[in-house]
């Protein structure tokens, strides 16, 4: 008979778990028959000793089996192919906001089930909740109807999808086991497979502001997730993308929504536009939609039209003014020169200190808090010009944010060589 202590000992000693052990421990933990401290010990053993691919695949299967698996029949979506995107999280990563309506404007149905921010990485739902009236919760029937009518929905995941993941994710966050690749891969893919979409594009971030700092580990994660998708007939592609530097020029909830709307209006920072279009092209490819360039749909206003309809459908007012912070503080360049480095993690932590993020899932966030980035690597600055503008409703937060940004930017003499990594580092999948 399987028991928790034997399962922990097996992985502690570097051995592979059997299918029976995996099925039992995931189901028992979800039911509450295995204590948090026991699952925490197992998660740490997995972090330290890893898992074979067979174990990861079976663990993912057990996570899916802990809840309900959705289906999106083509007829229920107006014969639109369904495709989703998932990012592993980064600083200033507002890509989902323009990407979902853009891909929908090209003829796909995009059921984007998103989450909230934790630590230095922002959450899509937190960003959208800065729009007056917008709501994250949709019933299954509302989701299908919105996808059929508009093609786009960004909402909170149903609690019945992979409930084991929700419970285990919260535990990993407080036990220092978030970085375990087998648990990251199974967490992401169990939810996406259970969601029932036809195809999936993964944006796996790598660099200072990402969970995966190392390219080798990021590639391992991407390859594992692509393989898991294949096990379930889910057409899956992953892009490895740079997260050494924040995406765009804003980090924070309302600030990022404003920047996303600029992209939908045909403007916005070039890196945000480029990554949005690159991911859109991959999503259309795996969805089987040919002959449409998503860049055209940004230029002609089609994506903006879908955005406005999507926001209204979820109770929001796309014309309402976004919240603005009561207090701001400018950090200026200390010297003339060229910016050669901008640490995404430091900027993310500053935004967190200002109130844009949370330390625990139940913590509130400030809609208007965050950081505006005025200069990025390759930009020439003059002494006294603005490098960052800090936004918050609580000015006593400024000191911690300023401390976080003290070493965030490196300014070299004019003429110094600046090597910028490619935004898209590699592509994995069919």
Q: Is 172 an annotated catalytic residue? A: yes
Check 87, 130, 187, 190 and give the catalytic one: 187
User: 172, 235, 391, 397: which one is catalytic?
Assistant: 172
Known catalytic residue at 165: yes
Residues 6+ apart with CB under 8 A from 180: 43, 46, 47, 172
Distance from C-alpha of 260 to C-alpha of 253, rounded to nearest angstrom? 11
Cβ contact 164:62 at 8 Å: yes
Catalytic residue flag (residue 191)? yes
Q: Which of 86, 116, 391, 397 is catalytic?
A: 86
Indicate the pairing of strand 386-392 with strand 327-332.
antiparallel
- Number of Cβ atoms within 10 Å of the Cβ of 290: 7
- Residues 45 and 220: their CA atoms lie apart, in Å, by 19
Q: Answer yes or no: are the C-beta atoms of 347 and 371 closer than 8 Å.
A: yes
Q: Reply yes or no on whether 271 is catalytic.
A: no
Catalytic residue among 116, 127, 166, 191: 191
Count CB-CB contacts under 10 A for residue 297: 24
Contact status, residue 12 vs residue 143, Cβ threshold 8 Å: no
Q: Which two tokens stand for residue 68?
A: 């309900």
Active site residue 293: no
The conformation of residue 379, written as its DSSP 8-state character, comes to -
Q: Of 84, 126, 165, 343, which residue is the catalytic one?
A: 165
386 membership: H or E segment, kind and range: strand 386-392
Helices (H), 73-123: 96-105
Residues labelled catalytic: 86, 165, 172, 187, 191
């Amino acid at each position: 008979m399987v028991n928790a202590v034997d399962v922990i000992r097996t992985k502690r000693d570097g051995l592979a778990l059997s299918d029976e052990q995996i099925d039992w421990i995931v189901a028992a933990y979800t039911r509450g028959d295995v204590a948090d401290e026991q699952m925490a010990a197992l998660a740490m053993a997995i972090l330290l000793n890893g898992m074979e691919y067979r174990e990861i695949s079976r663990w993912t299967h057990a996570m899916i089996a802990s809840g309900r698996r959705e289906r999106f029949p083509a007829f229920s979506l107006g014969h639109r192919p369904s495709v989703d995107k998932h990012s592993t999280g980064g600083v200033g990563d507002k890509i989902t906001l323009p990407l979902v309506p853009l891909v929908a404007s090209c003829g796909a149905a995009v059921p984007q089930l998103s989450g909230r921010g934790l630590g230095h990485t922002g959450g899509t739902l937190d960003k959208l909740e800065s729009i007056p009236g917008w709501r994250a919760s949709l019933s299954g029937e509302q989701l299908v109807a919105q996808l059929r009518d508009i093609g786009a929905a960004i909402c909170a995941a149903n609690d019945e999808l992979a409930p084991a993941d929700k419970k285990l994710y919260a535990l990993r966050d407080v036990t220092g086991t978030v970085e375990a690749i087998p648990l990251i891969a199974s967490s992401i893919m169990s939810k996406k497979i259970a969601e029932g979409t036809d195809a999936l594009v993964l944006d796996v971030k790598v660099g200072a502001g990402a969970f995966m700092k190392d390219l080798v580990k990021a590639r391992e994660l991407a390859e594992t997730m692509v393989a898991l998708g294949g096990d379930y007939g889910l057409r899956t592609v992953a892009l490895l993308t740079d997260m050494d530097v924040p995406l765009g020029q804003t980090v924070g909830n309302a600030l990022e929504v404003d920047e996303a709307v600029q992209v939908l209006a045909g403007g916005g920072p070039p890196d945000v536009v480029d990554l949005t279009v690159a991911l859109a092209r991959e999503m259309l490819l795996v969805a089987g939609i040919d002959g449409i360039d998503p860049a055209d749909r940004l230029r002609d206003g089609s994506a903006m039209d879908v955005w406005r309809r999507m926001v209204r459908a979820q109770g929001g007012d796309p014309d309402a003014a976004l919240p603005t912070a009561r207090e701001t503080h400018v950090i200026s360049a200390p010297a003339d020169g060229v910016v050669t480095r901008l640490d995404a993690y430091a900027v993310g932590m500053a935004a967190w200190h200002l109130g844009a993020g949370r330390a625990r899932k139940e913590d509130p966030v400030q809609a208007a808090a965050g950081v505006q980035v005025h200069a990025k690597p390759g930009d020439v600055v003059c002494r006294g010009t603005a490098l960052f503008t800090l936004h918050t409703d609580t000015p006593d937060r400024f000191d911690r944010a300023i401390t976080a940004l003290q070493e965030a930017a490196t300014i070299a003499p004019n003429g110094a060589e600046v090597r910028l990594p490619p935004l898209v580092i590699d592509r994995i999948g069919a």
